[in-house]
Structure 1
């Protein structure tokens, strides 16, 4: 039986969470499932429909859309359908609002001539497990986070650790049940968890969602066996079955690495072509994080003092950020570093940049997609986690010896001299061992998604399970 025949006749529903870091890896998984002849419907809101254009053009007969408007919520202005456009603090409201799609989905299922036999939905949509149970189909939770981070998240919501001193944000919380017994100051735990109030309807809805992830028929994770084997084994024990499918790195199809998410920035790639092998530091803090002007000044000063070549992707202020206080590149900086570095405002083709031979180091906020892309590209990481699972991700990178700690926290400001020295050191022979280690992991990542690789086998096992 060929790969394209594995899922013949099976129809599944894919439900993404509307944030770029969640949508993109789930769409990459959708592509992989479509190539294995699974019939797919993707639930999407009208504003996010253009995100599907490449996928729909690649699989015009295999993938269809279910377009449903985002239900109203007092905290979400009319017309906003993506987390990146939300006011600060709107993340929780988005999770609750999407839960109101329950009845429209129920009606759609009951009126469909060939309803899906399974639901694959983001782990922020735990309520879809209850929907699946009511419909008598299987629900698979999709995790855009890695296995280690997911283990910490599940441990939080299942065991609900408490502080001894409710006023001490620095009190350490230990996860003794997770391998290597990680521990974090309370302020580094999930922000959703930290605002949990027992008995509060909204808080209980969110907790029930994460517990439903644990109870779901299967869990699909964007990672690969060789990266997180010990945590994969642990998670299977924790959820009580082996239907944990580790299918990454989930990356865009070949040929789509430059254009994903927006137009290609040819100037960046042309500049990199002239910059020498593995000597460029790439600086980017993801699609959500906007640095304060003070942080911007420290990064700029460090880049200038270090003497390294660099590409700096600057996220400009969005809803909830005062343009006077956030995202401003210091006056004259670009002139002072002309020829040695470039600043790009807005979207950049990150996969293409990391994959370029000239890029050797990545200063990152430790979002999981960025980590997967950097590992696959064999690029050493400097870690500055800001929030959510990023602290767990940074722990894993340091444990694997492919990440060097810079700083921690969205409100913290590193010393510019120390950061400059890290930039200089990162492209020198002083990090040779770390570079060799990330190259080993990068080769393992490529093998995982290659012919007879571990992730290819996991994808086939997933499709067989979906089609059962």
Structure 2
């Protein structure tokens, strides 16, 4: 079902106006990098009416890392993690803040994770399948060949993400182009042109 704004409701009206301004804008900043988003950028840009550009300038959290490494707090959770026998032997399950699971669904997740025989750091809600499928999927992810390949891909994407925000990287270059464009737009505004 498509969302239809209720123009008598101020929140609904604000969301509708913000959405329209986004569609009419000349660009949107994306907290990701071209090496992962590149194939999808043209499709994303096709939603805009003014030939707007997607400026992939992230991951922003990597742009200015702290001078000193952040040390984890000495909590019960970090102690438990340190005590685990094997490196990369703990799975973290998170479902975000928007998930709404029934007790039966949570039970299926909990039982499936328990059946896997692996350590579990946290469980919280999302689209759920049966406990056997969860157990099998967790075992494959943590101990199987597909899981090993997935971890290798994550390591490679992490390396590429870090490179993208360094001088000469795709995000670094996109941010430079964005700043140049903003400077041009600022000059246009002072000479009487209109920016959407």
Q: Name the TM-score, length of structure 2 as normaliser.
A: 0.73
4+ residue segments displaced more than 4 Å: 202-205, 256-259
Residue-by-residue CA offset, 1:276-332 (whole Å, 9 max, x unaligned) = 322211111224445432222122111211101221054xxxxxxxxxxxxxxxxxx
Structure 1 counterpart SS, 2:167: coil
Structure 2 residue corresponding to 1:285, chosen from 83, 95, 114: 95
Equivalence for 2:121 = 311
Residue-by-residue CA offset, 1:6-62 (whole Å, 9 max, x unaligned) = xxxxxxxxxxxxxxxxxxxxxxxxxxxxxxxxxxxxxxxxxxxxxxxxxxxxxxxxx
Q: Is the CA contact (8 Å cut-off) linking 2:45 and 2:53 kept in structure 1? A: yes
Q: Does 1:244 align with 2:54?
A: yes
Equivalence for 2:141 = 426
Structure 2 counterpart SS, 1:312: coil
Structure 2 counterpart SS, 1:286: coil
**In structure 1, C-alpha distance between the alignment counterparts of 2:20 and 2:34, rounded to whole Å:** 24
**In structure 2, C-alpha distance between the alignment counterparts of 1:234 and 1:288, rounded to whole Å:** 26
Q: Is the CA contact (8 Å cut-off) linking 1:450 and 1:456 kept in structure 2? A: yes
Structure 2 residue corresponding to 1:450, chosen from 156, 166, 169: 166
Q: Is the CA contact (8 Å cut-off) linking 1:258 and 1:264 kept in structure 2? A: no
**In structure 1, C-alpha distance between the alignment counterparts of 2:78 and 2:168, rounded to whole Å:** 32
Equivalence for 1:213 = 22
Unaligned runs of 5+ in 2: 185-196
Q: Is the CA contact (8 Å cut-off) linking 2:109 and 2:130 kept in structure 1? A: no
Distance change in 2, residues 1:264/1:214 (3 Å): farther
Displacement after TM superposition at 1:425 (Å): 1.2
Equivalence for 1:228 = 37
Equivalence for 2:4 = 196
Q: Which of the pair is proportionally richer in helix?
A: 2
Unaligned runs of 5+ in 1: 1-185, 187-193, 315-364, 366-383, 385-407
RMSD over aligned Cα atoms: 3.0
Residue-by-residue CA offset, 1:137-171 (whole Å, 9 max, x unaligned) = xxxxxxxxxxxxxxxxxxxxxxxxxxxxxxxxxxx
Q: Which of the pair is proportionally richer in strand?
A: 1
Distance change in 2, residues 1:210/1:415 (3 Å): same
